[in-house]
Amino acid sequence: MTPPPAHSPLPVSVLDLAPVLPVVVIDDAADAVPLARALVAGGLPAIEVTLRTPAALDAIRAIATEVPDAVVGAGTVITPAAVADAMAAGARFLVSPGWSPALLAAMKTSGVPYLPGVSTASEVVALLEQGVREMKFFPAEAAGGTPYLKSLAAPLPQARFCPTGGITPAAAPSYLALANVGCVGGTWMLPPDAITSGDWPRVRALAREAARLRP
């Protein structure tokens, strides 16, 4: 029997894998593997598959099984049950738009890196009290964007962020230039028409441009 492909080591930090974390919504699990291969080929190995569609868990499972160079994670994780489902599917990191004590406890015991979501200084302080240093800042543009994150850096230098929500390729470099930003989450390298038509070379080209965005 052919052994499964060897995966890259589990990341210590999701924030350091690439400047951009693609936020993927998959409606058809058959698209998962070619999409992941296109993103990896373009230089974006970390892939957040959001748990917003019935196909999401099957997509994570397919990528984890068939694209060993990808580091596939689950996004929109909002319950402890979703943590368990994502881990069973092969997710190698977890991302949430927000957090609760129960959700945070489940993410902590998952054994993989996780990014709980915050949008206020109080939420950041609460996570720091729990020993969490890496977070998702969401919804980034609506919650204050780069000026807000810059203002957090002086009083809360321990925290590092992956801002996500409304970020464009034009705005991404200003986020990436901040000392407390490790990467940004985005969808612009995943045009719906390219996915529908299976235009994976276009996805690969957009991913390559995104991978070069860090100043």
Three-state helix/strand/coil letters over the chain: CCCCCCCCCCCCCHHHCCCEEEEECCCCHHHHHHHHHHHHHCCCCEEEEECCCCCHHHHHHHHHHHCCCCEEEEECCCCHHHHHHHHHHCCCCEECCCCCHHHHHHHHCCCCCEECEECCHHHHHHHHHCCCCEEEECCCCCCCHHHHHHHHHCCCCCCEEEEECCCCCCCHHHHHCCCCECCEEECCCCCHHHHHHCCHHHHHHHHHHHHCCCC
**What does the radius of gyration of the chain's CA atoms come to, in whole angstroms?**
16
Residue 154: Cβ-neighbour burial (10 angstroms; 0-12, 13-18, 19+):
exposed
Rounded distance between C-alpha atoms, residue 23 and residue 90, angstroms: 17
The residue behind tokens 């009290």 is: 129
- CA–CA separation, 65 vs 25, rounded Å? 19
Q: Kindly report, residue by residue over 125-137, the tens digit of the pLDDT.
A: 999 999 999 999 9
In this model, does residue 5 exceed pLDDT 60? Answer: no
Count of C-beta atoms within a 10 Å radius of residue 71: 29
User: pLDDT tens digits, residue range 39-76?
Assistant: 999 999 999 999 999 999 999 999 999 999 999 999 99
Query: φ, ψ for residue 121 (rounded to 5)?
Result: -65, -35
Structure confidence by residue, pLDDT tens digits, 174-209: 999 999 999 999 999 999 999 999 999 999 999 999
Q: CA 165: distance to chain centroid?
A: 11
Question: Active-site positions?
Answer: 48, 136
Q: What is the pLDDT of residue 109?
A: 97
Tokens of 83: 């943590």
What's the confidence (pLDDT) of residue 215?
64
Look at the pTM and tell me if it is higher than 0.85. Answer: yes
| Average pLDDT along the chain | 95
| Contact of 77 with 94, CB cutoff 8 Å | yes
